[in-house]
Amino acid sequence: MTENNIYDASVDQDAKDAYFTASQGQLIWTRFKKQKAAMFGAWVLVLLILSGVFAPFLTPYDPTIAGRDKDYLNGAPTIPQFCDDNGCSMRPFIYAVERERSIQTNFRWVTTVDTDKRLYVKFFVEGSPYKLFGMNFSTRLFGLDDGFIHLFGTDSTGKDIFSRTFQAINTSLAVGTIGVFISFVLALIIGGISGFYGGWVDSFIQMVTDAVRTIPAIPLFMALAAFIPDTWSAEERFFFISVLLGFIGWPTLARRVRTHLLTERNQEYVLAAQLCGASSGHVIRKHLLPSFTSYIIVDLVISFPYMVLSETALSFIGLGLKDPVNSLGVMLQNVTSADVLLNYQWYFIPVIFFIVLVMAFVFVGDGLRDAADPYGDTKK
Amino acid sequence: MVQFFRFTMVRAALAFFTLCLVSFIVFSLMELVPGDCAERYLAFKNSQGAQISIADIEAERSRLGLDRPYLERWTSWIFNAFQGEFGDSCILRLDIGQLLGQKVWLSVGICLGSLLVAYAIAIPVGIIAATSRNPYLNNGLRLVSYLGLALPNFLLALIIMLFSTVVFGDSLTGLFSPEYRDAPWNWDKIKDFLGHVWLPVFILGWSATAFAIQTVRALMSDEISKLYVTAASARGVSGRRLLMRYPARHALSPIINSLGFDLNRIFNELPIVALILTLTEAGSLLIEALARSNDQQLAGAIIFFLTGTIVAINFITDIVLALIDPRIRRSILGS
């Protein structure tokens, strides 16, 4: 009995020791792990990021016009299957399609599915070459020896929507990363100056920040993006758009940095450092910044989906990215026509991926925010 | 009373200053974009077949006053803007005030309508969510508000269009039926308008509602656990009377304060939703001004107008808050 008690106490002590000596990062991670929704979101997010990064390997074709299937325009998805009327096979297969134009079809192109001709799906096939991390590869995860496979169908020029979707995830993540990074640096500098010096500098900067915040971002953004010269290449556009997103996104974060600094700079440990003769830069870098790194990370995760969504909206109306750069907005450009709405609904498949991507970010951001709140446990 | 008047004046001055600052930012950005009005107009003329020389561009520039210094032009622009005069559009050569006309009021009306709908739903639902301990209700609402974030309005508009086209064979677009488009306002036109306008209002209000529910719920749950609520219920006040008289009044005043920014968010979505639903009478004019003709004069006017509306709302909410919230009133009166 007593032995048991001692044993329990020591375990308890260990747990306490672990708790009190844990670093901020460990504490956040422990709290984060407890939230099922956030953990699930995190897994989905990791999966999506990986699939974005390895998009060329996972997809069978080049997402640009180079990889188009010129015999299967606006084609419906071809779903691999194992069985049909002619029996089953261990290896999944799709049917061959044929496109013809003759007097029987009234001289229009008509695509017919030939259910007798099977095309077997192979894995690790040699496809068109691509670059990954600066190296050249040509092995694709799956594909056909002969003919084309289109899991999500094709668009009006015969580009594979499956390949484009994965490429688009990659693009959106890149745009988001650049945008978030730029707005982060701006917010840190502007909010930092405002919060650290206080006084009239603070009042003035806050006035400007508030003025910037009242301007509706997307209309302004459209106004700026509309004036990109047509002669710019797709890559230049891509870079410019990401930078613009960053320049418009900073005020919210800057405000938060400022508020935090204003409360922190009057704390005793800052005074102590100043009394020891530390310079402003040293105090900011060594004492103030570490005190709210976790909040900043959380804010960055939360603001990420907004960047992605702004880019999508902008590209959608034709002022953002353009072909051959793929993004969800670019892919959705022509879907409002009645033709697409009535006949080619597979154009909307990428939307699902993006809702999942944004949801994953929101879940993770929310979970991180709760986990980073040091009083989260004691509140309830 | 005098103090209150002074408070109003200070707020008005601040709003005015913000507007000047905004106009400066907008004006500078419009200046920064390559090419000016004269070049653009003459390029447009050129595409119509007229022969244009450098001298023509210079003449046009001095006619429009574009050769005057930067600050001088900004001052005259802002003076005119406050009088509702935005000059002529670059390409169309029409007075911008006339061009925008009732379109602007329709757009602002639709946005305010969505804001109203959003809060009409969010306030009761948020209060119920904060007070109820029903896990299904709470999780359901959480999911809705996440969806409100993850499914931006324009995707929602697309999905509704897809659905209605497939199921009803009608894409539900436009603000008026064709026969009423140019008709003068009368009872039938209003009926027709209301029959169309609910969809944009719903779509624009969608994520605003999700956000608002989240906010109302958070504010309510903060207030509801405070001691004065316990004290009130100990005195025997209960049910709806308790909620309405005590925590709800406290929780709702920060919301009034954030109305301006909610409107900002709705304005953000307006042009794109307008494009999808082909509301030519509303926000898609902005897209037209930008994408088709690069009309910086028109774009500047529209952005200035939208921002002006937000600043005005912020000013009004400040005053309203001072009137209805005794805590703020006291801090102004300084007693």
Chain B contact for A49, CB < 8 A? no
Residue A320 has pLDDT above 80, yes or no: no
**Measured between alpha carbons, how far is B312 from B22 in angstroms, rounded to an integer?**
13
Render pLDDT for A203-248 as a digit per residue (tens, 0 to 9): 888 888 888 777 777 777 777 776 677 677 777 777 887 887 787 7
Strand, helix or coil for residue B88:
strand
Interchain pair B150, A216: CB under 8 A? no
Residue B128: partners with Cβ closer than 8 Å, 6 or more residues away: B137
Poorest-pLDDT segment among A8-12, A161-165, A282-286, B203-207:
A8-12
* pLDDT score for B279: 67
Give the number of C-alpha atoms closer than 13 A to the C-alpha of residue B60, restricted to the C-beta side. Answer: 18
Q: Assess contact for B203 and B110: CB atoms under 8 A.
A: no
Closest Cα partner for B27 from B61, B76, B89? B76
Is the Cβ pair A217, B268 closer than 8 Å?
yes
Closest chain A residue to B259 measured between Cα atoms? A214
A213 vs B contacts (CB less than 8 Å):
261, 264
pLDDT tens string B133-189 = 777 877 787 777 777 777 777 778 877 877 777 777 665 666 666 566 666 666 777
CB B66 within 8 A of CB B37: yes
Would you say A76 and A95 are in contact if contact means Cβ atoms under 8 Å apart?
A: no
User: How far does Cα A186 stand from its chain's mean position?
Assistant: 21
Alpha-carbon gap, residue A248 to A312, rounded angstroms? 15
Residue B202 in this model has a pLDDT that exceeds 80: yes
Interface contact flag, B154 A208, Cβ < 8 Å: no
Nearest-neighbour CA in chain A from B44: distance (Å)? 15
For residue A288, what pLDDT band results from cuts at 50, 70 and 90?
A: confident
ipTM of model: 0.70
Structure token digits, residue A361: 């970010």
Predicted pLDDT at A379: 44
B335 band by pLDDT with thresholds 50, 70 and 90: very low
Which whole-number Å values give the CA distances from A308 to A12, A28, A52, A187, A234, in the listed order? 46, 26, 14, 19, 18
Residue A29 has pLDDT above 60, yes or no: yes
Highest mean pLDDT out of A40-54, B35-49, B63-77: A40-54
Contacts of A305 in chain B (CB under 8 A): 149-150
Question: Above 70 in pLDDT, residue A197?
Answer: yes
Percentage of chain A exceeding pLDDT 90: 0
**CB count in 10 Å sphere of residue B194:** 10
Give the SS3 label for residue A54.
Answer: coil
The whole-number pLDDT of residue B23 equals 82
Question: 3-class SS at B91?
Answer: coil
Q: pLDDT digit string (tens) for B264-313?
A: 888 877 777 777 777 665 556 666 666 555 666 777 777 888 888 888 88
What pLDDT, in 10s, does the model give residues A61-102?
777 777 677 777 777 777 777 777 777 777 777 777 776 666
| Residue-level pLDDT at A380 | 41
Instruction: Name residues whose C-beta falls within 8 Å of residue A55's C-beta, 6 or more positions apart in sequence.
Output: A63, A163, A166, A167, A169, A170
Percent of chain A with pLDDT over 70: 83
Looking at residue B283, what is its pLDDT?
Answer: 58
The DSSP output letter for B292 is I
Q: Would you say residue A265 has pLDDT above 80?
A: no
pLDDT at B34: 64
CA distance A97 to A108: 16
Contact B261 A317 (CB under 8 A): no
- The CA-based diameter of chain B, rounded to the nearest angstrom, is 86
Percent of chain B with pLDDT over 70: 72
Q: What is the DSSP string of A132-162?
A: ETTEEEEEEEEE-SSS---TT-B-TT--BHH
User: For residue B172, what pLDDT is reported?
Assistant: 62
Q: Is the pTM of this model over 0.90?
A: no
pLDDT at B84 over 70: no
Q: Does the beta-carbon distance from B268 to A222 stay under 8 Å?
A: no
Closest Cα in chain A, distance from residue B217 (Å): 16
Above 60 in pLDDT, residue A6? no
**Chain B: residue whose CA lies nearest to A213:** B261
Query: Is residue A4 over pLDDT 80?
Result: no
Residues of A in contact with B270 (CB under 8 A): 219
- pLDDT tens across A327-344, in order? 877 887 777 666 777 777
Mean pLDDT on B222-246: 79
Average pLDDT taken over every residue of chain A: 76
Asked if pLDDT for residue A1 goes beyond 50, the answer is: no
Supply the DSSP string of A351-375, one letter for each residue: HHHHHHHHHHHHHHHHHHHHHH-TT
User: Which contiguous run of DSSP H or E holds residue A110?
Assistant: strand A110-120
pLDDT at residue A285 is higher than 60: yes
Question: How would you write B131-164 as a 3-class SS string?
Answer: HCCCHHHHHHHHHHHHHHHHCCHHHHHHHHHHHH
Question: H/E element holding A98?
Answer: strand A87-100
From chain B, pick out residues whose CB is under 8 angstroms from the CB of A354.
155
Range with the lowest mean pLDDT among A64-68, A181-185, B260-264?
A64-68
State the nearest Cα–Cα gap between A223 and chain B, in angstroms: 6
Distance CA B54, CA B85 (A): 30
B77, B27 Cβ separation under 8 angstroms: yes
